[in-house]
Amino acid sequence: MIQIRNLIHDYLRRDEEGNVEGSHRAIDHVNLDVHPGEFIAILGHNGSGKSTLAKHINALLYPTEGTVVVDGMNTADEQNLWKIRQEAGMVFQNPDNQIIGQVVEEDVGFGPENMGVPTEEIWERVNESLRIVEIEHLRKKSPNRLSGGQKQRVSIAGVIAMHPKCIILDEPTAMLDPSGRKEVIRAARALNKVEDITIILITHYMEEAIYADRVFVMDEGRIAMQGTPREVFSDVDRMKELRLDVPQVTLLADELRRKGLDLPAGILTADELADALGLKEETDVRKQA
Ligand SMILES: Nc1ncnc2c1ncn2[C@@H]1O[C@H](COP(=O)(O)OP(=O)(O)OP(=O)(O)O)[C@@H](O)[C@H]1O
Ligand SMILES: [Mg+2]
């Protein structure tokens, strides 16, 4: 789905006259392949280059060096621009900047309308998109009146209505409360599992990355770690070096192991920890009693 080869991105610094006075390397030799239907999480502390990388995938930015190919289309080729933007949709942090319609259904239909989709099909797409993110009941509402989680699901529905093969979510939950975060992550997982849409989720919340097929950790424009969530999070020390947390349960399990408890590395959920501690069986026995 996505093939990134030796990507370098330099932001140019200009003086008042517009002359280039320096540059800042935000992406430094990144190689990354994403297969169709994968759920990828990208982690990394502030300024590590996550958003810059994401913007290359739907041709909002172009490589300084190297190539980005999306579904066989090179992003540097201007002819591919609109096709790439339709196939690789993007959802940003702040839902208020992404919603333009006065009514939810109108907002969701805006993308396909802009693409020249026939009216009847627009409505089919709107219905389908609202159903997928479970906001059919909000279709006549004004987006301004919705909660953060609902607004972000409207943004996602707007992207789905363009029938993308891939959706890039750049910290979609950063401005949401815990219940809003859950709503959005559930929607992203449904898109991936049910609709088979490739998902790239950029997040600061480690708990959101445990659902990914693969996790990439960025540091100073490079990919510093990659692997399954279990592989990445089991290296608690390296994650700390990269100024990142691991999921709280993983951290607890790691501390217990360091205190001498016999636990496997890379425990990701409370259920796994309970299993490893033998608590599950006990509870079952108690239930039976
Ligand atoms: N338009 C720009 N012009 C110049 N430098 C930029 C620009 N955008 C980002 N940068 C710099 O490039 C580096 C990478 O920024 P980027 O926004 O990609 O990081 P990020 O990992 O998304 O950070 P955050 O977690 O804060 O969103 C940073 O050092 C940043 O200051
Ligand atoms: Mg960012």
Query: Could you state, in order of their start, the residue ranges of all structural domains in the chain?
Result: 2-228, 247-289
The sheet carrying 2-14 orders its strands as 20-34, 2-14, 65-70, 73-74
- 12 vs 283, residue with greater confidence: 12
Residue 229 banded pLDDT, cuts 50, 70, 90: very high
Residue 146: per-residue pLDDT: 93
Is any ligand 1 atom within 6 A of the Cβ of residue 56? no
User: What is the rounded end-to-end Cα distance, in angstroms, of the chain?
Assistant: 52
Q: What's the pLDDT at 84? A: 95
Q: Which atom of ligand 1 is nearest to the CA of 45?
A: 25
The pLDDT value given to residue 35 = 97
Q: Whose CA is nearest to atom 4 of ligand 1?
A: 11
Question: Regarding predicted confidence, which is higher, 283 or 246?
Answer: 246
Question: Ligand 1 center to residue 61 CA distance, Å?
Answer: 12
Q: Which backbone phi and psi does 4 adopt, to 5 degrees?
A: -115, 125
| Sign of the torsion angle spanned by Cα atoms 213, 38, 75, 158 | negative
Helix intervals (H) in 76-173: 81-87, 104-114, 119-132, 148-160
Residue 121: what pLDDT?
Answer: 95
Task: Return the higher-pLDDT residue of 40 and 95.
Answer: 40
What is the pLDDT at residue 282? Answer: 56
For residue 190, give the nearest of 232, 128, 280, 142 by alpha carbon: 128
Q: Are 83 and 166 in contact (CB under 8 A)?
A: no
Q: Please state whether beta strands 20-34 and 166-170 pair in parallel, antiparallel, or not at all (unpaired).
A: unpaired
71 by Cβ neighbours in 10 Å (0-12 / 13-18 / 19+) ranks as: middle
283 has a pLDDT exceeding 60: no
Ramachandran angles phi, psi of 227, nearest 5°: 160, -170
For the stretch 42-88, pLDDT in tens is 999 999 999 999 999 999 999 999 999 999 999 999 999 999 999 99
Tokens of 149: 């989680």
Q: Is the pLDDT of residue 125 over 60?
A: yes
Instruction: Pick the residue whose CA is nearest to atom 2 on ligand 1.
Output: 11
Ligand nearest to the CA of 242: 1
Mean pLDDT over residues 79-98, rounded?
91
Nearest residue CA, atom 29 of ligand 1?
A: 47
pLDDT tens digit string along 131-169? 999 999 999 999 989 999 999 999 999 999 999 999 999
Residue nearest to atom 31 of ligand 1 (CA): 47
Q: 97 falls in which pLDDT band (50, 70, 90)?
A: confident
Q: What is the mean pLDDT of the chain?
A: 92
Architecture of domain 2-228: 3-Layer(aba) Sandwich (3.40)
Query: Is 209 a residue whose pLDDT tops 70?
Result: yes
Q: Indicate the residue type of 169.
A: L
Encoded tokens for 82: 């609109």
Q: In terms of Cα–Cα distance, which of 33, 3, 19, 42 is closest to 229?
A: 42
Query: Percent of the chain having pLDDT more than 90?
Result: 74
Q: How confident is the model at residue 37 (pLDDT cuts 50, 70, 90)?
A: very high
The pLDDT-based confidence of 287 (bands split at 50, 70, 90) is low
Q: How many residues does the chain have?
A: 289
Taking the CA of residue 93 as reference, the ligand 1 atom at the shortest distance is: 27
| Cβ of 69 below 6 Å from ligand 1 | no
Provide the sign of the torsion angle of the four alpha carbons 285, 286, 288, 289, taken in this order.
positive
* Rounded Cα gap, residues 154 and 150, in angstroms: 6
Average pLDDT score over residue span 249-267: 90
